[in-house]
Structures are given as C-alpha cells and as structure tokens.
Amino acid sequence: MTAPAKDFHGWVAHDAKSPLTYTTFTPKPFTPTDIEVRVTHCGICGTDIHTLRSGWAPADYPCVVGHEIIGIVERVGSAVPTLPSSPASRSIKLGDRVGIGAQSMSCLKPDCEACADGQESYCARMTGTYNGRYADKSKSYGGFAERWRGPAHFVVKIPDALPSAEAAPLLCGGVTVYAPLKKYGAGPGKTVGIVGIGGLGHMGILFAKALGADRVVAISRSSSKKADALEGLGGDAFIATGEEKGWAKNHSRTLDIILCTVSGPDMPFAQYLRLLKRDGTFVQVGAPEDALPPLMAFSLIQKGVKVTGSSIGSPEDLRQMLKLAEEKRVLPWVQKRAMGEVNEALVDMHEGKARYRYVLQNGEAQAKL
C-alpha cells in the first residue's frame, strides 16, 4: 500500500468574501483512534454559510466547511477496534460507508457530565467538524474536500437502505431536528409546528410525522412552499406568516411543540409563542447572526410556556435517527451538485433556492477545474 498523503485536497476559504479555491490543506495528524474516509457526498448546511462569511465570529481561515459528510473508510486507526469510548465505532472497517456530522470531538472524560451522559454535543470542550481545534491544537477541516480524517467516536455507519445523497443531510440537519423532537415528546397525541421550511425545517416535518405526531403544521413566511409541505412532505396544515392576516391570533394555543429553524433575526418571536398551548415548548435551533427579538415577560407568563434551544445531537442520537430514517423511509429532498460547483451552490443556498438541501458529490469535481 502507498503511504498516505500528508495533505488533502479540498475547497478552501481564505477570507470572508472570496470564493473557495481548490487547493491543499493539512489535516490533523492521524492517530490510532482516528478514521480516514474518501468523501463521496457532503450536504450544504446553513451553518456553512454563517461560518464562511464569519457571521457569528471571525472564522479561523483557512477553513474547509461541510459537516454532512458521507464517505468510504480508507484508513482505520489501530486502536479503533478496541475504542473504550464507543462500542459502536469499534466495528467500523475498511470499505464501510460512514457519516460524519457537525461534531468531531469532545473531551470524552468520565468526569464530564455531558460526555458521561452521552450528551457529547453539550460538552464544554466540543470540537466542531470544521473551524475547530482538537486537543493537540491542530485544526478541524470539513467535507468540502476529497478526504476527511478525525476521531472514530464521532463516525457512524450508514444503514444500507439509505442512499448516500439522501443520507448526507441527516448527519447535521436531520439530527438537529430529530433530537429535540424526540426529547420534547413529538409523537402521538402531540401537535408540532415547524418554523422555517428550509433544509432543517423540511426534515423537521418528515421527522415529526415519522415520530407519529398527530398534526404537523408548517410555518413559513410565504405560501411558496405550501404545496411541497402539504402534498410532498406530509404536513397537515400550513401558515404563511407574511400573507395571512392575524395568523398568530387565528392559530393561537394550537401547538404543543414549536421547532424554530429560522436563520434570520427578524422573526416574529412573540407571535410564534402565541401559537403554543399552555405549558408548550418552543425550541430554537436556527442560529441567526444577531440577537433574537425582545420579548415581553407576558409571552412566557400567560401560558407557562418554555423557551429552549438544542444543539445538533450525540453520536447515539445520530444512530437512532438513522435507524428511524431507514425504518420509516425518511428521505430528505436533495438536489445533487458536483463538488466542483461548490461556489455556485453556495450562492444559490444563500439566496434560499435550495429545495431543500444541496448535496455536493465528488467525482465530477476534477472535470470542473
């Protein structure tokens, strides 16, 4: 076997404004607990856009984004088959089809409450799949590349029944909606509202239905996605907040759970809360670059509602979510793009054109250079 390459090729961001360039970058050193994959697919998540333009905070350029990665395992560290932290990762073998989501490391220490509870995404020392640093200070690089390398603990096997392009968006967007829907009881007897029908939101409708919620209401700014939400994705009702006069009053006290995926700060927060029933739960997963709108205390007081947030999901959540997706055929709506078209796809994503997730595919990339 030839010696593994030191550098990887991928689509690198050098600053907040310029298009990505296809060049080399240096991945983390390969350790015995790592896995290396040949990337076949990678979804484009809203977080990629926020990060590339340094929307939340200055990004650590050079940066390679992409954290909805599907790849084929080409290298397995010698300690992976006995990995103490993850029995599930021990069985990963050369040639397996695997996925990597938005997190690639956490402290994994027994005295860390989050890690010990299997809640790795809430570890204070979590490492994002890109724009992060591992304990040895090396940078984390994502999936807009030919290869990915990182800790086996955060690599999950993809069930055979899920096609790669459709499986990719499940790795970040899918688990980000699945984990809170599950945690807050979306299921029989419950009505669920999904706000923002984009990548996360359309998967929110699919998963709320798959979990057995009685009624799933899609909440969007206009009616342009109504037919998709009701006829294609299986939603039961639709609210176009920019078009229906008095919508918050008309539909007040109708929802047990609201999952809000909105990525812009100018959302009608207090009006969304009016839709909750007494004791209802509002879960924010969208991460706007500015503060959320202010709230009068009465929005919380009057019905005893809860406002919370949720961060991706643990490797165990990922495995459970993939199992449910396999059993119930939860397949995100994807539009495949060649990896070499990444800059065009990012512009389209930013303009809200995705229906509902762009998935980059390697293989055609070279032809486009």
Ligand X SMILES: NC(=O)c1ccc[n+]([C@@H]2O[C@H](COP(=O)([O-])OP(=O)(O)OC[C@H]3O[C@@H](n4cnc5c(N)ncnc54)[C@H](OP(=O)(O)O)[C@@H]3O)[C@@H](O)[C@H]2O)c1
- The binding site for Zn ion (CB under 5 A) comprises 45, 47, 102, 106-107, 112, 115, 123, 172
Interface contacts to ligand X, rule CB under 6 A: 45-47, 50, 172-173, 176, 196-201, 220-221, 225, 261-264, 266-267, 285-287, 310-312, 352, 354
Q: Which is nearer to Zn ion, 260 or 273 (CB)?
A: 260
CA separation, residue 308 to residues 45, 78, 184, 244, 293 (Å): 22, 41, 10, 27, 15
Least distance between Zn ion and beta carbon 199 (Å): 8
* Residue 270: contacted member of Zn ion, ligand X, none (CB under 5 to 8 Å, by partner type): none
By DSSP bridging, strand 191-195 and strand 215-220 are parallel
User: Could you say which of Zn ion, ligand X, none residue 200 binds, taking C-beta under 5 to 8 angstroms by partner kind?
Assistant: ligand X
The CA-CA-CA angle for residues 174, 144, 136, to 5°, reads 90
Q: Which of 319, 252, 282 is nearest to 118 (CA)?
A: 319
| Residue 19: both structure tokens together | 């298009």
Output the CA torsion sign for 70, 76, 77, 81. Answer: positive
Residue 198 binding partner per list ligand X, Zn ion, none, with a CB distance cut-off of 5 to 8 Å that depends on partner kind? ligand X
Which helix (H) or strand (E) segment holds residue 315: the answer is helix 315-328
CB of 103 vs ligand X, minimal distance in Å: 9
Are 127 and 103 in contact by the 8 Å Cβ rule? The answer is yes
Q: How far is the CB of 140 from ligand X (least distance, A)?
A: 16
Residue 215 or 319: the one with the smaller Cβ distance to Zn ion is 319
* Of 64 and 213, CB closest to Zn ion: 64
Cis-peptide into 62, omega within 30 deg: yes
As a whole number of angstroms, the distance between CA 122 and CA 125 comes to 8
Residue with CB nearest ligand X?
Answer: 198
* Least distance in angstroms from the C-beta of 44 to Zn ion: 9
Q: How far apart are CA 66 and CA 102, in angstroms?
A: 8
Q: Please report how close the Cβ of residue 242 comes to Zn ion at its closest, in angstroms.
A: 26
Question: Measured from the CB of residue 67, what is the shortest distance to ligand X in angstroms?
Answer: 8
Q: Which is nearer to ligand X, 31 or 311 (CB)?
A: 311
Name the minimum Å distance from CB 261 to ligand X.
Answer: 5
Contact partner at residue 286 from Zn ion, ligand X, none, CB < 5 to 8 Å by partner kind: ligand X
CA distance 106 to 99: 17
The torsion angles phi and psi of 344, rounded to 5 degrees, stand at: -65, -40
Distance from C-alpha of 116 to C-alpha of 105, rounded to nearest angstrom: 14
CB nearer to ligand X: give 33 or 140. Answer: 140
Which partner from the list ligand X, Zn ion, none does 315 bind, CB cut-off 5 to 8 Å by kind? Answer: none
The smaller minimum CB distance to ligand X, of residues 85 and 261, is found at 261
Among ligand X, Zn ion, none, the one that 127 touches (CB under a kind-dependent 5 to 8 A) is none
Residue 157 gets the label, from left (phi > 0), alpha (psi -120 to 50) or beta, of beta
Of residues 173 and 315, the one with the C-beta less far from ligand X: 173
**DSSP SS3 for 276:** strand
342 binds, among ligand X, Zn ion, none (CB under 5 to 8 A by kind): none
